[in-house]
Structure 1
Amino acid sequence: MRVIICGAGRVGYGLASRLATEGNTVTVVDTTPELIRQITTELDVRGVVGHGSHPDVLVRAGIESADMLIAVTYADEVNMMACQVAHSLFNVPTKVARVRAQSYLQSEWNDLYSRQNMPIDIIISPEIEIGKAILRRLNTPGAFNVVPFGEGRVQFLGVRITNDCPIIETPIKQIPDLFTGLHAAIVGIKRDGEIFAPTQDDPLEPGDDAYFVTRAEHASRLLEVIGTREAKARHIVIVGGGNIGAYVAGQLEAVSGLRVRIIESNKDRAEYAARNLSRTVILNGDAMNAEIQEEAGVGHAEMVICLTNDDKTNILSAVLAKKLGAKHTISLINEVSMQDMQTELGIDMVIDPRASTISSILRHVRRGRILDVYTLEQGGAEVMEGEVLDTSPLAGKSLRDAGLEDGIAIGAVINKTGVVFPDPDLQIKAGDRIILLAERAALKGIEAMFRVSTDYF
C-alpha cells in the first residue's frame, strides 16, 4: 500500500514507523526540515518538506499513485484541506483526517464531510477517543484498560496481577475449569516490560499485566474472581478543563449521584467550561498547588484524572493527589519515556494519546476484513476483530487444525449462536468474527487469515 502521511509529529512518526515496518511504501510531509530529517534517518520512509495541503507538495510526495492519505498535522484546517485536495485533484481512494476542534464534530454539521462538500472518508478525534477510554475505565473499576469489541458484546480488559490473585502459578489451560460458566480467555501477558501471547501452559505471575477477553456481562465477575473489582467512583476530580476534560465531565453529568469537579488554570477556559457544564464545579487554579487540590476535595476523591496539555503537570498533579489521599489516579502522558515511570510514581493508569489515535487509524489501514484494531505497548502487539470469509485459510477448519503461528492468541469467536469460547475443536465458518491478540511479528499472517480473496496479496 502507498501511504502519504501529512505531519511528522508524534502521531505521524508512530504511524510511519508501524506502516513502514509492515512493508508499506510511506512518504511523510511536514513543514519542519528537522522533523523530516529525523524521520527519514530513523525510518525506512521518504520525506518531503512542505505544506501537506499544497498540490505541488503532494505531487512531490507521490499523491498521483497513493492509495491513502493520512493528515495528522497539528492544524485541523490543514488536515481537512489536504483531504479535499487529495480527492478533488488526485482522486485518492481513502482520506483520513485528525480533527480536534469539537465545533467541526457536532452532529448538525455532518453534511460537511459528504462527497459533494469535503470528502473525508475517516475523521479521527483523539479527544473523544481518549474521553471514551476514560469513561470505560470508570465504568469498569478494577481494570486499567477496557476496550469493547463485537458491538460491545465482548470486552478486552487489562488487569494487574497481585500476590493475592487466586489464579497465579496456574497454567492458563486449567483456569476455565476453576470457574464454571465464566467466559474469559487470557490473550496477552506483559512481563518484565515485554508483551507476548501466552501458550496454554504459561502461568500468571505476580506483577504481570494480564489481558483478558471476556463476554461483556462477565466482566464484573472476572474482576471479582481475580480480586481487583472495586466500587465505582462517586467523587471525581478532573485536572484540566480542555476538550477532553470538558467532554468527560459532560458525560458524567448524566450519571446521578456523582460529584465532579474540574481544576483549570486558565481563567478563560475555566469560564468557558463553567458556561457549558451545569452540574460540574469549576475551580480556577493551579492543580500543582496543594491548597487548590484540597479545595477540590482531592483527599476524599476515589478518582483524580489529569488531562492538561502538559505531561509534567499531569504527572506531578497525580503524585500530589495520591499524597493528599486520592484513591486512584489517571494521567494523560505523551512522552513515552515518562510513561515508563508509572509504577514508580504510583499512577494507576497512563493514557497515551498517540496510541489512541494510531489505533483508530490502523483499523482502516489493515487489509482484509479487519473490523477493529487496538494497539498495545507502542505497537508490541495488537488486539483485533476480523471477519472470516470463504477465502480465508481458517474457513471450514477447527481452531486445532487452523495452523495458527506463534504469537497469536484467540480470545473469542462470534458466530450465529453468539459469543463462543475458543475451544480447540470449535469449527470456524465463513461469517464468524474472531477477536485475538497478535504480537508484532505475527501481524502479516493475521492479514492473510482475513484476506478478501485468494489473489489479494
Structure 2
Amino acid sequence: MKVIICGAGQVGSGIARQLSNEHNDVTVIDNSPALIQQIADSLDVRTVVGYASHPDVLERAGAREADMIIAVTFADEVNMVACQVAHSLFNVPTKIARIRAQSYLRPVWQDLFTRDHMPIDVIISPELEVGRAVMRRLKMPGALEAIPFGDGHITFLGIALEDDCPVVNTPLRQLTDLFPDLTAVVTGIQRGDRLFVPDSGDQMMVGDIAYVVSDTTQTRRVLSLFGHEEKAARRVVIVGAGNIGRHVAQELETEHTKVKVKIIEADKATAVIAADELSRTVVLHGNALDEEVLREAGADSAETLIALTNDDKVNILSSVMAKQLGCGRAIALINNRSYANLMGPMDIDAFVNPRATTVSTVLRHVRRGRIRGVSSVQDGKAEVIEAEALATSTLVGRPLRDADLPNGMRIGAILRGTRVIVPRGDTEVHAGDRVVIFALADEVSHVERMFRVSIEFF
C-alpha cells in the first residue's frame, strides 16, 4: 500500500514506523527540516520537506499513485485542505484527517465532511479518543486497558498481576478446569521487556501484565479473579481543564451524576472557560504540583486522580504526589512513550497515550480484509484485531485445532450474533462470525490474509 503521511510529529512518526515495519510504501511530509531529518535517519521511508496542503508538495510525495493520505499535522486546517487537494487534484481513494477543534465536529455541522463538501473519509479526534479511553478506565477500576470489541459484547483487558493475585503460578490449562463457565481467554503476557502469546502450560507471574479477552458481562469477575476488586470512584480530581479535561468532566456530569468532580487548572483564562461550560464540577485555579492545592481539591481523599494536562512531567508528578497524599488511584496522560516505563516504579496505576489511541484508530482503516476494529498493544508490539469471517476464510468450517495458527497468534473470542463463544480446539468458526484475535506484530499480516475477501467470494 502506498501511503502519504502529513506531519512528522509524535503521531505521524508513530504511524510511519508501524506502516514501514509492515513493508508499506510510506512517504512523510513536514515543513520542519529537523523533524524530517529525524524520520529519515530512523525509518525506511521517503521524506518531503514542505507544506502538506500545497499541491506541488503532494505531487512530489507521489499523491498521483497514493492509496491513502493520513493528515496529522498540528493544524486542523492544513489537515483538511491536504485531504481536499488530495481528493480534487489527485483522486486519492482514502483520506484520513486528525481534527482537534471540537467546533468542526458538532452534530449541527455533520455535512461538512461529506463527499460533496470536504471529502474526508475518516475523522480522528484525539480529544474524544482519549476521553473515551479515560472513561473506560474509570468504569473498570483495576484495568490498565479496557477496549470494547464486537459492538461492546467483548472487552479486551490489560491487567497488572500483583502480589495478591490468586491465579499466579498456575498453568493456564488449570484455569479452564477451575473456572469452566468463565468466558475469558488469556491471549498475551508482558513479562519485563518480552511480550508473548502463552500456551496452555505457561504460568503467569507477579509483575506480569496479562492481556485478556472477555465477555463484557464478566469483566468484573475477571478483574476479581486477577486480584482487582477496586470500587468505582465517587470522588474524582482532574488535573488540567483543557479540551480533554473538560470532555471527561462533561461525560462524568452526564453519565455519572453521583460522582463528585473537581478540576485543577493552572491557567486562569482556561479555568474560567471550564467554569462556564461545566455545571456541577468545581473548578480550582492553581498549580497541581502545590500540595495545598491538591489537598484543597480533595486529592488526599479522592478515589481517583486523572492528570490530563499537555505536560507529561506535570501529569506524572501530580499523580505521584496525589498517591502519596492518600489518593486511591492515579491515571496519567503521557505523550512521551519512554515515560511509560516509570508507571510501575512511581506507583501510577494507569496511563493513556494519545499517540497510541490515534495510531489504533488509523490502523483500523489501513488493515486489509474484513477488519472491524484494531487496537495497538505495547507501542505496536502486538495488535488486537476484530475481523468478520467470510465463507472463504481459511478458519471457517473446520475445528480450530486443525487451523494451524502460528504461535504468535491467539483467538480470544468469537461473537455469533450476540453470543460470545470461548474458542476451544473443537470450536468451528461460521461465516458471519466476528473473531477477536491477539497477534504479535509479525503475525498481523497472517490475520489479514485469513480474513481477506478472495475471488471465490464473488
TM-score by length of 2: 0.98
Q: CA deviation at 1:351?
A: 1.1
CA offsets, 1:66-102, max 9 Å, x none? 0000000000110011111111111111000001111
Give, in whole Å, the separation in 1 of the partners of 2:327 and 2:116.
Answer: 51
Counterpart amino acid of residue 211 in structure 1: Y
Give, in whole Å, the separation in 2 of the partners of 1:372 and 1:209.
Answer: 22
Contact 2:412 2:422 in 1 (8 A): yes
1:389 is the counterpart of 2:390: yes
Contact 1:411 1:421 in 2 (8 A): yes
Which residues of 2 match residues 11-410 of structure 1 at below 5 A?
A: 11-254=11-254, 255-410=256-411
Report which stretch shifted further, 31-40 or 71-80: 31-40
Give, in whole Å, the separation in 2 of the partners of 1:97 and 1:324.
Answer: 41
Q: CA deviation at 1:416?
A: 4.1
Counterpart amino acid of residue 275 in structure 1: D
Counterpart amino acid of residue 333 in structure 1: I
Q: CA deviation at 1:454?
A: 4.8
Give, in whole Å, the separation in 2 of the partners of 1:356 and 1:373.
Answer: 10
Give, in whole Å, the separation in 1 of the partners of 2:423 and 2:10.
Answer: 37
CA offsets, 1:381-401, max 9 Å, x none? 101101111222112121111
Give, in whole Å, the separation in 2 of the partners of 1:341 and 1:311.
Answer: 12
Contact 1:333 1:352 in 2 (8 A): yes
Counterpart amino acid of residue 416 in structure 2: N
Report which stretch shifted further, 9-18 or 162-171: 162-171
Counterpart amino acid of residue 128 in structure 2: I
Give, in whole Å, the separation in 1 of the partners of 2:436 and 2:247.
Answer: 29
Report which stretch shifted further, 278-287 or 175-184: 175-184
Q: CA deviation at 1:208?
A: 0.7
Contact 2:26 2:46 in 1 (8 A): yes
Give, in whole Å, the separation in 2 of the partners of 1:143 and 1:220.
Answer: 10
Give, in whole Å, the separation in 1 of the partners of 2:339 and 2:251.
Answer: 29
Counterpart amino acid of residue 3 in structure 1: V
Give, in whole Å, the separation in 1 of the partners of 2:127 and 2:194.
Answer: 28
Contact 1:196 1:381 in 2 (8 A): no
Give, in whole Å, the separation in 1 of the partners of 2:418 and 2:276.
Answer: 49
Contact 2:410 2:439 in 1 (8 A): yes
Q: CA deviation at 1:199?
A: 1.1
Give, in whole Å, the separation in 2 of the partners of 1:455 and 1:238.
Answer: 54
Q: CA deviation at 1:180?
A: 3.4
Give, in whole Å, the separation in 2 of the partners of 1:346 and 1:160.
Answer: 12
Tell me the matched-pair count.
456
Change (3 A) 1:320 1:417: closer
- 3-state DSSP class of the match of 1:247? helix
Give, in whole Å, the separation in 2 of the partners of 1:143 and 1:397.
Answer: 35
Contact 1:185 1:412 in 2 (8 A): yes
Moved over 2 A (4+): none
Counterpart amino acid of residue 326 in structure 1: C
In the other structure, the counterpart of 1:414 is 415
In the other structure, the counterpart of 2:425 is 424
Contact 2:153 2:418 in 1 (8 A): no
- 3-state DSSP class of the match of 1:151? helix
Counterpart amino acid of residue 222 in structure 1: V
Give, in whole Å, the separation in 2 of the partners of 1:206 and 1:446.
Answer: 31
Give, in whole Å, the separation in 1 of the partners of 2:392 and 2:47.
Answer: 37
Counterpart amino acid of residue 393 in structure 1: T
TM-score by length of 1: 0.98
Give, in whole Å, the separation in 1 of the partners of 2:281 and 2:417.
Answer: 44
Contact 1:288 1:317 in 2 (8 A): yes
- 3-state DSSP class of the match of 1:344? coil
Counterpart amino acid of residue 384 in structure 1: I
Contact 1:141 1:230 in 2 (8 A): yes
Counterpart amino acid of residue 91 in structure 2: N
Counterpart amino acid of residue 355 in structure 1: A
Structure 2 unaligned blocks of 5 or more: none
Percent identity, please.
52
Counterpart amino acid of residue 324 in structure 2: K
- 3-state DSSP class of the match of 1:404? coil
- 3-state DSSP class of the match of 1:113? coil
Q: CA deviation at 1:193?
A: 2.0
CA offsets, 1:322-376, max 9 Å, x none? 1111111011111122111111111111111110000011000001111100001
- 3-state DSSP class of the match of 1:385? strand
Q: CA deviation at 1:164?
A: 2.4
Report which stretch shifted further, 290-299 or 174-183: 174-183
Structure 1 unaligned blocks of 5 or more: none
Give, in whole Å, the separation in 2 of the partners of 1:417 and 1:111.
Answer: 32
